[in-house]
């Protein structure tokens, strides 16, 4: 295993750093001028869709270049893209969609003019996703599916134009084989979106009710009954992304800065041994996780795939995100109870919502217990 960067990789790292230095809008401009930033990335040679292959307008980065690119972007807190179109549906369209579907949907995904949401989970079908019941029946003329059912926890469904959706087209035989992948417009009168307000007080997830929605067969990806196969391939990559290692490195630095602004005795909270121990443990675990990511990268660069190690990264990466949010809560002390009102140090304003919001990280993208199952079977070989 070789986890050293080559000179070529180091040159590429410098190129990305220079590009960010010269093009990333500064301060508040970051939000008002984000369109210009994405345009500069596009002009650079498909850097706006960094994970897309060359034939679809992406840069065709090697796995190592992709790692370097993602790290530099995270380090500089560059504006993120919504993941559902660019990161999740696009690879499925590229691998399994028809040429017509690619031409129809990829441009809107790329320029963010069309928002997508992911309609997989249902009441009774989360960890056991193959249990999903939303039913799609083919009309007699074979031209449409009539879809009925309910999705839940659908992130950003309230601003989505379309939903990519797993539906049941057969209830006989193996559960996984009766699942089909459909693209459903959210402006259909049979779609009703109801908000779910989460513990952190924000509205990002929803219930989606689907009643007699008529979907043309042209909106089916690939073959009927193969949706599970199409959806499954992506999960490994989704999990790796959810580890958010570089974001945690930055967040931990910020947490240390926050703690060092709180006076305790003659020093600061950062000098208190119990607090210091927590920081030290987190730094060590983050470093270990970074090396796990590099090991997985070396495997991918040598022609393999990320494999079940992605479950280790999802499990540990999200636990670390939660622990960092706990440190911020601790540093905020009593002011965390003010719940978003600006009293006490500035960082205390978001501490409670950050802490509560982070509870979800060990649930979405596959709950921690499920990742432990994958690790015990496929990494440790335990039955």
Ligand X SMILES: Cc1cc2nc3c(=O)[nH]c(=O)nc-3n(C[C@H](O)[C@H](O)[C@H](O)COP(=O)(O)OP(=O)(O)OC[C@H]3O[C@@H](n4cnc5c(N)ncnc54)[C@H](O)[C@@H]3O)c2cc1C
Name the catalytic one among 207, 238, 283, 285.
238
- Of 146 and 370, CB closest to ligand X: 370
Q: Which residue is nearest to ligand X (CB)?
A: 126
Residue numbers 139-168 binding ligand X by CB under 6 A: 153-155
367 binds ligand X (CB under 6 A): yes
Q: Which residue has the tokens 């992130």?
A: 155
Give the pair of three-digit tokens for residue 269: 């909270």
The token duo for 6 is 């080559």
Measured at the CA of 260, the angle between CA 258 and CA 266, to 5 degrees, comes to 145
Rounded distance, CA 164 to CA 84, Å?
9
Nearest-angstrom CA–CA distance, 146 and 288: 49
Between 57 and 200, CB nearer to ligand X: 200
Nearer to ligand X, 23 or 198 (CB): 198
Interface residue with ligand X, options 65, 115, 121, 352 (CB under 6 A): 121
The Cα 378–Cα 374 span in angstroms is 6
Query: How many whole angstroms separate alpha carbon 115 and alpha carbon 118?
Result: 10
Q: How many whole angstroms separate alpha carbon 118 and alpha carbon 153?
A: 9
Report the site for ligand X in 241-260 (rule: CB under 6 A).
Answer: none
Task: Indicate whether 363 belongs to the interface with ligand X (CB under 6 A).
Answer: yes
Please name the residue that has the structure tokens 């993941």.
83
β-bridge mates for residue 145, sequence order: 138, 215
For residue 177, give both structure tokens: 């084989």
For residues 76-105, which are near ligand X according to CB under 6 A?
none
**Closest distance to ligand X from the beta carbon of 63 (Å):** 26
Annotation says 21 is catalytic: no
Size of the site for ligand X (CB under 6 A): 18
Tokens of 71: 């790290």
67 binds ligand X (CB under 6 A): no
Q: For ligand X, which stretch binds (CB under 6 A), given 29-37, 60-68, 183-191, 360-368? A: 360-368
Residue of 205, 208, 252, 300 that binds ligand X (CB under 6 A):
205
Dist. CA 127–CA 295, nearest whole Å: 28
* Residue 206 sits in the site that holds ligand X (CB under 6 A): no
Q: Which positions are annotated as active-site residues?
A: 238
Interface with ligand X (CB under 6 A): 118-121, 126-127, 153-155, 205, 360, 363-364, 366-367, 369-370, 373
């Amino acid at each position: 295993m070789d986890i050293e960067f080559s000179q070529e990789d180091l040159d590429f790292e410098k190129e990305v750093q220079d590009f960010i230095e010269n093009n990333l809008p500064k301060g508040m401009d970051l939000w008002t001028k984000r369109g210009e930033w994405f345009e500069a990335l596009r002009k650079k040679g498909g850097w706006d869709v960094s994970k897309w292959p060359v034939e679809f307008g992406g840069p065709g980065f090697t796995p190592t270049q992709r790692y370097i690119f993602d790290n530099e972007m995270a380090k500089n807190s560059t504006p993120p893209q919504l993941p559902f179109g660019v990161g999740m549906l696009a690879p499925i369209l590229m691998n399994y969609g028809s040429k017509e579907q690619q031409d129809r949907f990829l441009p809107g995904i790329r320029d963010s003019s069309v928002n997508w949401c992911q309609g997989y989970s249902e009441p009774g079908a989360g960890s056991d996703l193959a249990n999903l019941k939303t039913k799609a029946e083919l009309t007699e003329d074979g031209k449409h599916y009539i879809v009925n059912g309910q999705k839940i926890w659908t992130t950003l469904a309230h601003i989505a134009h379309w939903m990519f959706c797993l539906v049941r087209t057969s209830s006989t035989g193996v559960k996984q084989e009766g699942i089909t992948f459909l693209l459903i417009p959210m402006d259909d009168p049979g779609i009703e979106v109801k908000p779910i307000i989460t513990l952190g007080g924000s509205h990002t997830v929803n219930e989606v009710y689907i009643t007699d929605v008529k979907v043309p067969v042209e909106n089916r990806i690939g073959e009927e009954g193969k949706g599970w196969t199409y959806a499954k391939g992506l999960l490994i990559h989704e999990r790796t992304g959810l580890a958010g290692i570089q974001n945690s490195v930055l967040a931990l630095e910020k947490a240390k800065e926050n703690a060092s602004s709180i006076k305790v005795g003659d020093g600061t909270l950062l000098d208190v041994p119990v607090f210091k121990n927590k920081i030290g443990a987190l730094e060590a675990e983050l470093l270990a996780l970074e090396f796990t990511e590099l090991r997985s990268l070396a495997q991918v660069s040598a022609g393999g795939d990320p494999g079940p190690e992605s479950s280790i990264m999802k499990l540990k990466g999200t636990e670390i995100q939660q622990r960092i949010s706990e440190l911020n809560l601790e540093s905020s002390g009593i002011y965390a109870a003010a719940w978003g009102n600006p009293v006490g140090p500035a960082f205390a304003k978001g501490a409670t919502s950050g802490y509560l919001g982070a509870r979800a990280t060990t649930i979405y993208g596959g709950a921690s217990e499920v990742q432990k199952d994958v690790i015990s079977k496929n990494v440790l070989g335990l039955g």
